[in-house]
Each structure stands twice: as structure tokens, then as C-alpha cells.
A = this chain, B = another copy of it.
Amino acid sequence: MTLAETGAGLQIRSIIKKEGILELSIVSVATPEPQADEVIVRIEASPLNPSDLGLLFGGADMTQARSSGAADHTVVTAPVAPPVLAAMAGRLDQSLPVGNEGAGVVIRAGASPAAQALLGKTVAVLGGSMYSEYRCIKAAQCLVLPAGTTPAEGASCFVNPLTALGMVETMRLEGHTALVHTAAASNLGQMLNKLCIKDGVALVNVVRKQEQADILTAAGATHVCNSSSPTFVSDLTDALVATGATLAFDATGGGRLGGQILAAMEVAANKTAKEYSRYGSTTHKQLYIYGGLDRSPTEFNRNFGMAWGIGGWLLTPFLQKVGFEGAQALRERVAAEIKTTFASTYTREVSLCEALQLDAIAVYGKQATGEKYLINPSKK
């Protein structure tokens, strides 16, 4: 058994100072000695997910970001507007590590058999602080990847795959039979499309550009509706009639799209209604908002009867709801299909230092379709 010497490792930190300045930097932290049930993972791949960017940038105006220093001493600063600063009260002046998930190789292990069994294995991990060279974590939190899987291939085993599975599972748990998804050409959206095709779940993909529609159609999607098209509302209604979808997951959050979807569901439901109901259809229509790509206010006209709900949706409470066993079954499915159904693609692999370059931030910070970056903290 060879124990690697880690000493200290670098990690990205994000801090918002009470004066209204975001500061991103790279710090060196001592690698702890693993407890009996813990291991040290050398992180080699960690995606820049939208959920990471929220913590990383903290609502700062990154178009005004400035950079100083070089290499591991790079420091990026950007202003945080006063209303955003008020919402960040809970994290002011705290230097926070970032990175929800990643994958790498177990290079040290505590004394327990479970930890020892992981030595040398390539594992995927979820738990924060993944934009780090070394991450100490409980052995039980490691998902062993199938032999022949690289850390880059296993970097996104949790957030997007479990969210896609969580959407389909929520559909079943709440008695719906088909889904609507917005921002459907995103990395997550393309994954959900593959999953629904594989599992035979009807999915209505909503995008806002023709090239996004083309991506999904090429990937085998049956129902793709472009919200920029003049025929969007009737296209959407037709797709809802065809699929019977009464549940939508919306990544945009702001604007009128969510309300349009609920209204189209109501029209679709009433096409099969037998008599006038003054309160609209009795079919329950549900919209879950799980992202905020559109930061404008959410607006709707309540033109969808009284049997409807809108709510926030997050992965963690969903996993708590299905319990450890249920969640473990989902995780094992992800590992088994990580190179097919749950495969992610990235535009570029960057080191910790490269992730803090302004030109890189300008690209991955846009959260645009097909511009997803992967951090490799072990890359020099």
C-alpha cells in the first residue's frame, strides 16, 4: 500500500466583502489526515455548473471584473450591486470554497475496510469544495466509476444526471405521465432528452433558438417547440395534446414562459372536456422552477383555471424525499450509464488558474448552450 504525500493543495475561493466587492482567488490549504472512514481524492475533473456559478460569482457584475496577479496568485474582483449585496448578507466576508461535484483518484485512505477498498479507484464525489487539488471525503460518499471510466467522463455524475432522473421520478410520484422542459438544449436538457427517449417518457422540449431545436431533433427528440417562433403557442398546445404532459420543469424562472406553459396545458385539457366548468379544467397542472436564467420578474395571467401549482424545485430536498435507498439506486444507474445516457460534453478543460482568467469567465459565465467548461484542479 503506497500512501501518497499530499501536504497541501490549491483551491479556488470566493468571498464577497461587505464593501460590495467579490474576490476570487486561489489559496493553498493543508490536506488533512483522513479519518478511518475517509479518503483523499485527487480531483481531476469538476464541471462549472450553473449552480456553481451562483456561489462562485455571488451575483457580482462579471462584465466589470478585473484581474491582477498571475498564475496561482491570480485575483479577480468584481462589483456587487447594493440590492444583490443585501441578499448576500448571509455570506459576507466568508471565504467560501466552490464546486459541487467532481471525480478523481483515491490516493490516500483511512483505516476502515470501506476506505481502504477505494485506494487507487476512480470515484465521483458530491459535496462542495471540488475546485480543489485534494478533497477529503467520507468513503460512503464516493461513487466508484466502472473500470475504464476517466475522471473527465465521471465529473458530472450527480447534479445533472440526478436532476434529470429526479424530474422523471417526480413526474411518476406526483401522478403525471409526460414532461415539459425549458432551456431544453442545455447540457441537462440534452441529458433529459436522452433519458426520456430511453425510458419511453414523452417529453416536450422548449427552446428559444432554431439551432437549439436542431440539436434536440438531431438527438431524436419528437416534440421541440421554439419560443421565438410565431407559432409557438399553437405548437406547444399541439405537443401538450399529443403527450398529455401536465408537469413542466422551468430553468428560466423569470418572464412569461412558465405561465404560457400552464395556459397551454389548460387549453389542451379543455380540448377533451365534456362540459363548461366555471373554474376551468380540474386537471392539475404543475410548474416547477429550478433555475433562474431569466432574472426578470415571473409574470402570469392565471388563465389556467384553479387546479394548478407553481413551486421551487431543488435536487437535495428531492433526494431527501426518496430516501437513501432510493437515491442510491439512482446513483448506481448513473454510474452504469455514465458513458451513454448520462454522458456530458465540455468545450474546454481548464486548470484552477485558467478558470480565473477573464477571457474564460466571459465564456463559461454566459451559461450559453455548448459553452460548458470543466476544471481540472490537477492540471498545471
Q: Which residues of A contact B (CB under 8 A)?
A: 54-55, 87, 90-91, 94, 253-254, 259, 270, 273, 275-279, 282, 289-290, 292, 297-303, 305-314, 317
A253 engages B302 (CB within 8 Å): yes
* Interface pairs (13), CB distance under 8 Å: A54-B278, A55-B278, A87-B303, A90-B273, A90-B276, A94-B276, A289-B302, A290-B306, A297-B300, A298-B299, A298-B302, A306-B313, A309-B312
A302 engages B254 (CB within 8 Å): yes
The answer, among B54, B300, B310, for a CB contact under 8 Å with A309, is: B310
A277 to B312, CA, bound (A): 15
Chain B contacts for A313, CB-based, 8 A: 306
Given A298-B302, A308-B312, A282 and B317 contact (CB-CB distance below 8 Å): yes
B309 engages A279 (CB within 8 Å): no
Kindly report which residue of chain B lies nearest to residue A313, judged by CB atoms: B306
B277 engages A90 (CB within 8 Å): yes
A163 to chain B, nearest CB (A): 13
**How many chain copies does the complex carry?**
2
Chain B contacts for A289, CB-based, 8 A: 302
Given A307-B317, A311-B310, A314-B306, A91 and B276 contact (CB-CB distance below 8 Å): yes
The answer, among B91, B254, B309, for a CB contact under 8 Å with A311, is: B309
A22 to chain B, nearest CB (A): 14
B307 engages A270 (CB within 8 Å): no
A312 to B278, CA, bound (A): 14
A92 to chain B, nearest CB (A): 9
4 closest Cβ pairs, A-B complex: A90-B276, A306-B312, A309-B311, A91-B276
A257 to chain B, nearest CB (A): 13
A169 to B316, CA, bound (A): 29
Kindly report which residue of chain B lies nearest to residue A273, judged by CB atoms: B90
Chain B contacts for A259, CB-based, 8 A: 297
Chain B contacts for A87, CB-based, 8 A: 303
Chain B contacts for A311, CB-based, 8 A: 308-311
Chain B contacts for A312, CB-based, 8 A: 302, 305-309
B302 engages A292 (CB within 8 Å): yes
B308 engages A270 (CB within 8 Å): no
A311 to B306, CA, bound (A): 8
A94 to B297, CA, bound (A): 39
Chain B contacts for A94, CB-based, 8 A: 276
A96 to chain B, nearest CB (A): 8
Other than the known A289-B302, A307-B317, what 12 A-B pairs have Cβ atoms closer than 8 Å?
A87-B303, A90-B277, A91-B276, A91-B278, A259-B297, A279-B314, A297-B299, A297-B301, A297-B302, A298-B300, A307-B314, A308-B311
Kindly report which residue of chain B lies nearest to residue A279, judged by CB atoms: B314
